[in-house]
């Protein structure tokens, strides 16, 4: 039973004081795609940690490499993409240590990992769900693959989980097809599939993008409540800093395949040090309610095949210094505090009055 497994996990967690504090450590991850235009560095040296039982958010505009990073954790990168370097160290409750990046693509261990120990909620439910199988068949398949139970027990667990994620009349809905359900219901089915085997890590790749605002709020509340109930560590992929403020404990801000700032959510929201993070925050409607115009970041994310020299953000940065920010290699992360770092050469120099001027 899902509930029993949750209790057991909580008990085990209390007994094992020597568990690694991080459930996942991504170190210098590099994912390249080989196209007719050459080598595309979609993820280029990304490093971050997921602390056990917490929500870590990766935030940034479309095209920054967030989804590729999340897909790498489950080794779902398809040709012409390839994990070229780095480590993805997973520390499960049994006390072991697995480098996911080094696991063979089609090994039994990777199939056991996917859906069992690490699950994913995909962005678009209609492409993630099979249109020719009932939702019950698809949820039951996840159970049968990872648990030693018969079909009757799998169906019982599936109905229970569908009910727990807020699907009314789950015993009847289980025999329906995805096209018979609303967008919000389909997303709940994906959440049920992801949680039915009590994974230690839940990867949510922009799980509310295709939903209306009211349903978005319901889904995010559901994920937050389920995380507490199942003691799951969550990796949230999003471009919405409003969602990050409500959901996340730790934040990594991505731009053009690199982490440009990381820290706890309070620090990132109250004291951002990278101009990109600052501009993302200033673009939030709630922070611009007393202004004539909603601030926006000028320009757009450049193509990864035409990366600028120096800091990748300098062509759009209001604080960029010519001859300094636009030359050489991209800046590495500088330590602001022991828990906060930013990849900006000018993070110590940018004055408060300059920030306010940009926000006007």
194 belongs to a structural domain: no
Per-chain mean pLDDT for the chain: 85
Give 236-250 pLDDT, tens digit per residue.
998 888 888 888 999
**For the residues 25-33, what does the mean pLDDT come to?**
95
Residue 285 lies in a domain: yes
Q: Is pLDDT at 351 greater than 70 in this prediction?
A: no
How confident is the model at residue 10, as a pLDDT? Answer: 42
Count of structural domains within the chain: 1
Distance, in Å, from the CA atom of 107 to the CA atom of 113, rounded to the nearest integer, reads 10
**Is the separation of the CB atoms in 248 and 50 below 8 Å?**
no
pLDDT, tens only, 219-231 = 788 888 878 887 8
- CA–CA separation, 273 vs 258, rounded Å? 16
Q: What does the alpha-carbon distance between residue 117 and residue 197 come to, in Å, rounded to a whole number?
A: 8
* pLDDT tens digits, one per residue of 289-336: 556 666 778 878 887 778 889 999 999 998 888 999 999 899 999 999
Above 90 in pLDDT, residue 253?
yes
- pLDDT bracket for residue 148 (50, 70, 90): confident
Three state DSSP letters for the chain = CHHHHHHHHHHHHHHCCCCCCEEEEEEEEEEEEEECCEEEEEEEEEEEEEECCCEEEEECCCCCCHHHHHHHHCCCCCCCEEEEEEEEEECCCCCCCEEHHHCCCCCHHHHHHECCCEEEECCCHHHHCCCCCCHHHHHHHHHHHHCCCCHHHHHHHHHHHHHHCCCCCHHHHCCCCHHHCCHHHHHHHHHHHHHCCCCCEEEEECCCCCCCHHHHHHHHHHHHHHHHHHCCEEEEEECCHHHHHHHCCEEEEEECCEEEEEEEHHHHHHCCCCHHHHHHHHCCHHHCCCCCCCCCCCCCCCCCCCCCCCCCCHHHCCCCCCCCCCCCCCCCCEEEECCEEECCCCCCCCCHHHHHHHHC
What is the number of other CB atoms lying within 10 angstroms of the CB of residue 310? 20
Which one of 61-65, 146-150, 256-260 scores highest in mean pLDDT? 256-260
Residue 8's pLDDT band (cuts 50, 70, 90): very low
Taking residue 264's Cβ as centre, other Cβ atoms within 10 Å add up to 16
Query: Is the pLDDT assigned to residue 180 strictly greater than 80?
Result: yes
| pLDDT at position 218 | 79
Query: Is 119 a member of any domain?
Result: no
Residue 213 in domain: no
Contacts (Cβ under 8 Å, ≥6 apart) of 340: 262, 263, 264, 267, 268, 271, 273
Residue 44 lies in a domain: no
**Does residue 156 belong to any structural domain of this protein?**
no
Exposed e or buried b per residue across 40-65, where buried means at least 16 C-beta atoms within 10 angstroms of its C-beta? bbbbbbbbbbbbbbbbbbbbbeebbb
Could you tell me if residue 295 is inside a domain?
yes
Q: Which domain holds residue 324?
A: 272-359
pLDDT band at 352 (very low <50, low <70, confident <90, very high): low
- Residue 280 confidence (pLDDT) above 60: yes
**CA gap 13, 35 in Å, rounded:** 45
Residue bearing the bigger pLDDT, 355 or 268: 268
Query: Stretch 66-92: mean pLDDT, rounded?
Result: 92
Respond yes or no on whether the N-terminal peptide bond of residue 80 is cis (omega within 30° of 0). Answer: yes
Say whether pLDDT at 288 is over 70: no
Q: What is the mean pLDDT of residues 127-151?
A: 90
Residue 1 has a pLDDT of 42
pTM metric for this prediction: 0.86
pLDDT of res. 2: 45
> Would 292 be classed as within a structural domain?
yes
């Amino acid at each position: 039973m899902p509930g029993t497994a949750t209790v057991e996990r909580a008990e085990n967690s209390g007994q094992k004081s020597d568990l690694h504090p991080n459930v996942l450590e991504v170190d210098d991850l590099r994912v390249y795609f080989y196209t007719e235009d050459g080598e595309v560095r979609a993820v280029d040296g990304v490093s971050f940690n997921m602390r056990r039982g917490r929500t870590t958010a990766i935030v940034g505009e479309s095209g920054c490499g967030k989804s590729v990073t999340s897909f790498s954790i489950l080794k779902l990168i398809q040709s012409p993409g390839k994990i070229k370097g780095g480590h993805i160290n997973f520390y499960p409750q049994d006390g072991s240590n697995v480098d996911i990046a080094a696991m063979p693509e089609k090994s039994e261990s990777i199939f056991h990992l996917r859906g069992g120990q690490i699950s994913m909620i995909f962005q678009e439910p209609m492409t993630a769900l099979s249109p020719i199988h009932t939702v019950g068949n698809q949820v039951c398949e996840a159970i049968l693959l990872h648990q030693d139970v018969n079909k009757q027990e799998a169906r019982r667990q599936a109905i229970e989980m569908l009910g727990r994620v807020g699907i009314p009349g789950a015993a009847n809905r289980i025999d329906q097809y995805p096209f018979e359900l609303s967008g919000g219901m389909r997303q709940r089915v994906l959440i049920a599939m992801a949680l039915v085997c009590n994974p230690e890590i839940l990867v949510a790749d922009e799980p509310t993008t295709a939903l209306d605002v009211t349903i978005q709020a319901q889904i995010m509340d559901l994920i937050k409540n389920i995380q507490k109930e199942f003691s799951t560590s969550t990796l949230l992929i999003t471009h919405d800093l409003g969602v990050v403020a409500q959901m996340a404990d730790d934040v990594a801000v991505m731009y053009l395949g690199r982490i440009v700032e990381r820290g706890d959510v309070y620090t990132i929201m109250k004291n951002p040090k990278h101009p990109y993070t600052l501009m993302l925050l200033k673009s939030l409607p709630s922070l611009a309610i007393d202004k004539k115009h909603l601030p926006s970041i000028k320009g757009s994310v450049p193509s990864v095949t035409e990366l600028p020299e120096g800091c990748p953000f300098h062509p759009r940065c209001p604080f960029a210094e010519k001859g300094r920010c636009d030359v050489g290699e991209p800046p590495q992360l500088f330590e602001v505090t022991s828990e906060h770092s930013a990849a900006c050469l000018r993070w110590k120099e940018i004055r408060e009055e300059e920030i306010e001027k940009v926000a006007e």
